[in-house]
Amino acid sequence: MDNNYNQEDKVLVAVDCIIFGFDEEDLKLLLVKRGFEPEKGKWSLMGGFLRQSEILDEAANRVLFTLTGLNDVYMEQLYGFSKVDRDPVERTISMAYYALININDHNPKLLDENSAQWFSVSELPELIFDHGEMIDKALRRLRRRTSTNPVGFELLPKKFTMRQLQKLYEVILGEELDKRNFQKKIKQMDVLVKLKEKDMTSSRKGSFLYEFDKEKYEEKVSDGFTFRV
């Protein structure tokens, strides 16, 4: 059998990062203005090409760090996009990832340097190539994940109110949740720590702050616990 790699077609491999954030009222997506042709000046996901020395996860983390300055955030490989004509310049396969970050943690200077901007997921501009398809798939995955896993806490500050938590789930799931039922279900899971501190910005009386107890959650999962909202 002839194993001559030179006879095989060569294709480029790219990674595109779908970066979600939450500003306490709305689910946001971080987009950049493309700085080169084709589609120069149009809105795009942040992406880059896989280097010979990298695995895909390393390339995705590099792209995320370049735009936000953040490491060690929740990131998940989403899907491979391989339509033959998806990139008009070269035959390019893209592996899409989605990341969840606390919108207040990133370095805002890096956004300016990369001509980046946060958009509501419900009011996105026209995007290049198949990036809209990538985002649709990421949103569907995020909705499934937040229903059965506590990944939504990655979008919140370390300390949060019950109202912030409910609003987060409402904007991700795209539906209004009954306050009493939601809080009852969350508290029954026993994975939150109620703090003595209060957020005094929402009302004169204030709202108690909570923290997600990741260690307790993992112990409960090992005992058969299932997170479900």
- Of the pLDDT bands very low, low, confident and very high (cuts 50, 70, 90), residue 2 is low
Q: What is the pLDDT of residue 4?
A: 78
Q: What is the pLDDT of residue 115?
A: 92
Q: How much is the average pLDDT of 117-123?
A: 96
Classify residue 24 as left (phi > 0), alpha (psi -120 to 50) or beta.
left
- Per-residue pLDDT of 204-224, as tens digits, reads 788 999 999 999 999 999 999
pTM, rounded to two decimals: 0.93
Quickly count: other Cβ atoms within 10 Å of residue 199's Cβ. Answer: 15
- Per-residue pLDDT of 33-50, as tens digits, reads 998 899 999 999 999 999
Question: Please, are residues 29 and 20 in contact by the beta-carbon 8 Å criterion?
Answer: yes
Quickly count: other Cβ atoms within 10 Å of residue 68's Cβ. Answer: 25
Average pLDDT, the chain: 94
Instruction: Decide: helix, strand or coil at residue 205.
Output: coil
Please give the domain boundaries of the chain with CATH numbers for all domains: 5-147 (3.90.79.10), 156-222 (1.10.10.10)
* Residues 6 or more apart whose Cβ sits within 8 Å of residue 161: 199, 202, 207, 208, 209, 210
- Of the pLDDT bands very low, low, confident and very high (cuts 50, 70, 90), residue 95 is very high
Question: Please, are residues 135 and 124 in contact by the beta-carbon 8 Å criterion?
Answer: yes
Q: What is the pLDDT of residue 7?
A: 85
Q: What is the pLDDT of residue 52?
A: 95
Q: How much is the average pLDDT of 168-192?
A: 94
Convert 11-28 to b/e letters by CB count within 10 Å (16 or more is b).
Answer: eebbbbbbbbbbebebbb
Q: Please list the residues that pair with 149 across neighbouring strands.
A: none
Q: What is the pLDDT of residue 138?
A: 98
Token pair, residue 186, equals 């969350």
